[in-house]
Amino acid sequence: MGERIEHINTGPDLVGVNVDRPPLLSQQSTVWTRRQQAVCVRHAYKHYGGKKKPNRVLTDLNMTVAKGTIYGLLGASGCGKTTLLSCIVGRRRLNEGEIWVLGGKPGTKGSGVPGKRVGYMPQELGGKPGTKGSGVPGKRVGYMPQEIALYGEFSIKETMMYFGWIFGMATSEINERLKFLLNFLDLPGENRLVKNLSGGQQRRVSFAVALMHDPELLILDEPTVGVDPLLRQSIWNHLVQITKDGNKTVIITTHYIEEARQAHTIGLMRSGRLLAEESPQVLLSMYGCQSLEEVFLKLSRKQGQLKKPVDNTENNISTAHLNWDRKNDSIYVTEESGVVGLNFHQSKEVLINDGSNGHLDIRALPPSPSTKATPPCEDCGDCSNFTSWGKIRALLQKNFLRMWRNVGVMLFIFALPVMQVILFCLAIGRDPVGLKLAIVNHEATYYNMTYQPCPFEYNCTMANFSCRYLNHLKNDTIIKQYYADPKDALDAVKSGDAWGALYFTENFTDALVARIALGRGSDDETLDQSEIRVWLDMSNQQIGIILQRDIQLSYQDFAKSMLESCSQNPAIADVPINFKKPIYGSSQPSFTDFVAPGVILTIVFFLAVALTSSALIVERTEGLLDRSWVAGVTPGEILFSHVVTQFVVMCGQTALVLIFMMLVFGVQCKGDIGWVILITILQGLCGMCFGFVISAVCELERNAIQLALGSFYPTLLLSGVIWPIEGMPTVLRYVALFLPLTMATTSLRSMLTRGWSIIEPDVYYGFVSTIVWIVLFLTISIIVLKVKRG
Ligand SMILES: Nc1ncnc2c1ncn2[C@@H]1O[C@H](COP(=O)(O)OP(=O)(O)OP(=O)(O)O)[C@@H](O)[C@H]1O
């Protein structure tokens, strides 16, 4: 059944839309009328959780808040008030239904300001009523969430500056407003830190933030909790005052039901529905109650008695449904609210005869100040899709100030990489020293003594070769422990007292001389007796290999020295493989040289992950992110500000890491230091962006920490930092290649040890892969943040 609009006399000045009203079509009238409300919610459904087990919070809820009024939203804890408000401010989206806020839909682009800049196009001419932006989130709305949602490290003044700049206010304007709010809300000195204020004072600062920019729509979630009765009254007086001229609208939730008497309209909410939407006086007189609490109880009982209403037009328990005995009277309703009753204070009241044939009978649309044209939005960040300097300045200052105020943490942040580099350079890659070797030398004269001088001469004398050889064993690496019996020496190794056992036969020198002299004519016994027998504990690969190396190199040294003493060419002792000077690296490469590039990047990458992985979570759990979003800050702006702040910190960390690695510990850099610095910084950026992904995905800080720590080892192990990826199974090698650190490590290693320039594929692949990862991580973060915000 269509609605008949009998009288519409709003005129162009009423809404600031300088166009003729469209033809009287019910749909247009509906949309048009919704736009004239401060807030209009229709058939709203909202649930949390999955579709299988949804937690239904809003169920076919309708709500109408006229401009220039105070709307008190009352209801038991958990009935969905905060959820509804968060949908109104654009923080959450409904699963079904529509919300109109200040003439547009929250979360849509554009200022939504009714004025010359907003044209009205009838739908039949192609206009899309649902596409006009509301400017919400943005500066048109002031939102005070239930949580304190303030930065504890900020003073009151800094808090105001931050939000003021976000709202695009000038500093002088903010100062002026601050003075008024300090006085009005009886706040302590402007330089007091928020964290040092009492709970009630913090709530008042939070309230002040919502009032700061004098918004058109104030949404206050329990602003009077913890506020003394006098101040509560003064807050209410202020709300009444600001709504008086009809330009401002207030939606307020409170658990002090009686204080809501001062509201123009009260919405009584229960189990995700509005039980009634009336002026307090009407509610009291309708139910013959003394207090609003009694009314609420009565209505709640009635709702319990009614079977589940299903029809959209009957979804709310209206006074009509409650067998109100004035059912046949002409009563005011807010258009299509589904709530029937007297609603004296709403500016867009329409008079409807309940017994009519369903036609909408608009008799009175008195020109109300509330419908006065709002000044066009000239400078608000929401007018364009782009950011504003004020917001960026506020966000950057906020981030730096937070860091500065946590100076201990900052010092730690800079000391940590230095500590890691120092520990790495001192603890990794050095040759082990003091390795015990159990020696049994049956050739030496006093072999049955556990310690004995082992005499030999540095000439061509063919005697006591064993002693001469032992003299070549590095004394700093190896501690020689002499045993009389080979069994004892082996027992020492078995019991862990020595890393290996060395045995020289009784006639070692003679056998060795014979072996050299006879060459291929040597018999088995000669060969056997001329051997130095070695049993090593190879359970520790590094120590085992070092002992093997030293034992062999010592023999080479011994042989050369013998040949030299006997006026022979010492080169005869060399293995006939001549390792020339390496093309890259040193002929005795250290493990440190191999690991250092990967370690530099790992330190920078994971420090950046640690810095950012909880940045957004902390803000989100404290309700600060919500507040910034409602103020019109976009996920992109938030990410940008964090990227800039963390980038500065990361540059400092990178500088420290490189200085300590290269200047203090002498890690070689044969390539261009500029490119080395660049890839290190890019890796830091990459880690930062990975941190943002973690921060955006995880709800809880502890999950973020788990994810960051959990990703550390797989990345470290697979990126070729501590072992070449060439040693991995083929499939794993391909996986490794796609990790953010792998190619970058190869690139840095090539620059540091080979001195390669950017034109080499091994080098520029590292840069390309890092940049791709940065873009990928940033995109994922923004998408996740947007989805979550939605
Ligand atoms: N993010 C969320 N995820 C899942 N459930 C939620 C979430 N936020 C709220 N809820 C649930 O939705 C219901 C309504 O919560 P809401 O915070 O809107 O109630 P409220 O009326 O504001 O309560 P109060 O007066 O205590 O603040 C509650 O059952 C709550 O547990």
Site to substitute for ligand 1 among 41, 45, 48, most atoms within 8 A of C-beta = 48
Indicate the pLDDT class of residue 26, thresholds 50, 70 and 90. low
pTM here is 0.70
Q: Which residue has the tokens 């100062």?
A: 175
Dump pLDDT digits (tens) for 34-85. Answer: 777 889 999 999 998 877 788 889 999 999 999 999 999 998 888 899 999 9
Mean of per-residue pLDDT scores for the chain = 80
Please determine, for residue 342, whether its predicted confidence score (pLDDT) is greater than 80. Answer: no
Q: Are 747 and 762 in contact (CB under 8 A)?
A: yes
278 C-alpha vs ligand 1 centroid, how far in Å? 24
Dist. CA 587–CA 575, nearest whole Å: 16
Q: What are the φ/ψ torsions at residue 277 (nearest 5 degrees)?
A: -140, 95
81 C-alpha vs ligand 1 centroid, how far in Å? 8
Please determine, for residue 333, whether its predicted confidence score (pLDDT) is greater than 60. Answer: no
Dump pLDDT digits (tens) for 404-453. Answer: 888 888 899 899 999 999 999 999 888 899 999 999 998 875 545 555 66
The CA radius of gyration of the chain, in Å to the nearest whole number, is 40
What would the mean pLDDT of 150-170 be, rounded to a whole number?
A: 91
pLDDT of 593: 86
Q: Which residue has the tokens 């490794």?
A: 736
The torsion of the CA quartet 686, 690, 693, 695, rounded to 10 degrees, works out to -120
- Better-predicted residue by pLDDT, 269 or 28: 269
Dist. CA 105–CA 118, nearest whole Å: 14
- Better-predicted residue by pLDDT, 112 or 499: 499
* Residue nearest (by alpha carbon) to ligand 1 atom 27: 77
| Run of H or E including 482 | strand 478-482
Q: Which residue has the tokens 């009584």?
A: 268
Q: Are 739 and 756 in contact (CB under 8 A)?
A: no
H helix intervals, 505-540: 508-518, 524-529
The torsion of the CA quartet 579, 584, 589, 591, rounded to 10 degrees, works out to -140
Nearest ligand 1 atom to the CA of 253 is 25
- 70-75, strands of its sheet edge to edge: 141-144, 217-221, 249-253, 70-75, 265-270, 273-278
Dump pLDDT digits (tens) for 357-401. Answer: 333 333 333 333 333 334 433 333 344 444 577 888 899 998 899
Indicate the pLDDT class of residue 493, thresholds 50, 70 and 90. very high
**Residues in Cβ contact with 733 at an 8 Å cutoff, skipping those fewer than 6 apart:** 725, 726
Dump pLDDT digits (tens) for 221-249. Answer: 988 887 788 888 888 888 988 888 888 99
Site to substitute for ligand 1 among 41, 57, 269, most atoms within 8 A of C-beta = 57
- In terms of residues, how long is the chain? 790
400 exposed, middle or buried (CB, 10 Å; 0-12, 13-18, 19+)? middle
Q: Are 181 and 107 in contact (CB under 8 A)?
A: no
Dist. CA 513–CA 530, nearest whole Å: 8
Please determine, for residue 193, whether its predicted confidence score (pLDDT) is greater than 60. Answer: yes
Please determine, for residue 760, whether its predicted confidence score (pLDDT) is greater than 60. Answer: yes
751 C-alpha vs ligand 1 centroid, how far in Å? 56
Q: Which residue has the tokens 């190869």?
A: 746
Nearest ligand 1 atom to the CA of 269 is 21
pLDDT of 41: 92
| Run of H or E including 45 | strand 39-48
pLDDT of 535: 97
435-573 has which CATH code? Answer: 3.40.190
Q: Are 474 and 441 in contact (CB under 8 A)?
A: no
pLDDT of 270: 85
145 C-alpha vs ligand 1 centroid, how far in Å? 13
CB atoms within 10 A of CB 190: 16
Half-sphere exposure of 200 (CA within 13 A, CB side): 13
Q: Which residue has the tokens 């003679």?
A: 510
**Residues in Cβ contact with 345 at an 8 Å cutoff, skipping those fewer than 6 apart:** 66, 69, 264, 265, 279
Specify the range with the lowest mean pLDDT, choosing from 366-375, 414-423, 633-642, 662-671: 366-375
624 closest CA partner among 182, 211, 185, 163: 163
pLDDT of 133: 54
Indicate the pLDDT class of residue 306, thresholds 50, 70 and 90. low
Q: Are 521 and 514 in contact (CB under 8 A)?
A: no
DSSP helix/strand/coil, 441: strand
* Residue nearest (by alpha carbon) to ligand 1 atom 6: 48
Residue type, 205: V
pLDDT of 28: 55
Q: Are 319 and 309 in contact (CB under 8 A)?
A: no
Nearest ligand 1 atom to the CA of 272 is 14
Q: Are 713 and 725 in contact (CB under 8 A)?
A: no
252 C-alpha vs ligand 1 centroid, how far in Å? 16
* Residue nearest (by alpha carbon) to ligand 1 atom 18: 80
pLDDT of 388: 75
* Residue nearest (by alpha carbon) to ligand 1 atom 3: 48
Q: Which residues line ligand 1 (CB under 6 A)?
A: 48, 55, 57, 75, 77-83, 146
- 55-65, strands of its sheet edge to edge: 55-65, 39-48, 96-101
Dist. CA 396–CA 640, nearest whole Å: 9
pLDDT of 790: 56
- Better-predicted residue by pLDDT, 357 or 497: 497
Specify the range with the lowest mean pLDDT, choosing from 148-152, 204-208, 227-231: 227-231
Q: Are 205 and 145 in contact (CB under 8 A)?
A: no
DSSP helix/strand/coil, 276: strand
* ipTM of the complex in this document: 0.97
Q: Are 740 and 605 in contact (CB under 8 A)?
A: yes
User: Structure tokens of 265?
Assistant: 């309209």
CB atoms within 10 A of CB 669: 17
Nearest ligand 1 atom to the CA of 79 is 21
User: Structure tokens of 100?
Assistant: 């109109």
Please determine, for residue 765, whether its predicted confidence score (pLDDT) is greater than 50. Answer: yes
CB atoms within 10 A of CB 352: 21
pLDDT of 53: 80
728 C-alpha vs ligand 1 centroid, how far in Å? 51
203 C-alpha vs ligand 1 centroid, how far in Å? 20
77 C-alpha vs ligand 1 centroid, how far in Å? 8
* Residue nearest (by alpha carbon) to ligand 1 atom 26: 77
What would the mean pLDDT of 287-295 be, rounded to a whole number?
A: 85
Residue type, 198: S
80 C-alpha vs ligand 1 centroid, how far in Å? 6
372 C-alpha vs ligand 1 centroid, how far in Å? 35
Nearest ligand 1 atom to the CA of 83 is 18
Please determine, for residue 519, whether its predicted confidence score (pLDDT) is greater than 70. Answer: yes
Q: Are 347 and 14 in contact (CB under 8 A)?
A: no
Q: Are 574 and 556 in contact (CB under 8 A)?
A: yes
pLDDT of 354: 34
User: Structure tokens of 143?
Assistant: 């939102």
pLDDT of 564: 93
Q: What are the φ/ψ torsions at residue 131 (nearest 5 degrees)?
A: -100, -5
For the chain, the straight-line distance linking the first and the last C-alpha, in angstroms and rounded, comes to 35
| Run of H or E including 434 | none
Query: HEC string of 291-332?
Result: CHHHHHHHHHHHHHHCCCCCCHHHCCCCCCCCCCCCCCCEEE
674 closest CA partner among 767, 549, 786, 781: 767
User: Structure tokens of 190?
Assistant: 């402007």
Parse the chain into domains and list their residue ranges: 102-134, 389-425+590-789, 435-573
* Residue nearest (by alpha carbon) to ligand 1 atom 31: 78
* Residue nearest (by alpha carbon) to ligand 1 atom 10: 48
Q: Are 153 and 195 in contact (CB under 8 A)?
A: yes
Q: What angle do CA 143, 147, 151 make, to 5 degrees?
A: 85
- Cα 300 to chain centroid distance, Å, stands at 42
Cis peptide before 137 (omega within 30 of 0): yes
608 closest CA partner among 546, 685, 533: 685
Residue type, 635: P
What would the mean pLDDT of 583-587 be, rounded to a whole number?
A: 88
Instruction: Quote the percentage of the chain above a pLDDT of 70.
Output: 81
Indicate the pLDDT class of residue 134, thresholds 50, 70 and 90. low
Dist. CA 739–CA 609, nearest whole Å: 15
pLDDT of 158: 94
Q: Are 88 and 101 in contact (CB under 8 A)?
A: yes
Site to substitute for ligand 1 among 46, 81, 257, 300, most atoms within 8 A of C-beta = 81
120 C-alpha vs ligand 1 centroid, how far in Å? 37
Among positive and negative, which fits the CA dihedral 195, 201, 206, 211? negative
Among positive and negative, which fits the CA dihedral 131, 135, 141, 143? positive
Indicate the pLDDT class of residue 615, thresholds 50, 70 and 90. confident
Indicate the pLDDT class of residue 296, thresholds 50, 70 and 90. confident
- Cα 714 to chain centroid distance, Å, stands at 21
Q: Which residue has the tokens 């006939």?
A: 576
Dist. CA 462–CA 454, nearest whole Å: 14
Specify the range with the lowest mean pLDDT, choosing from 136-145, 274-283, 613-622: 613-622
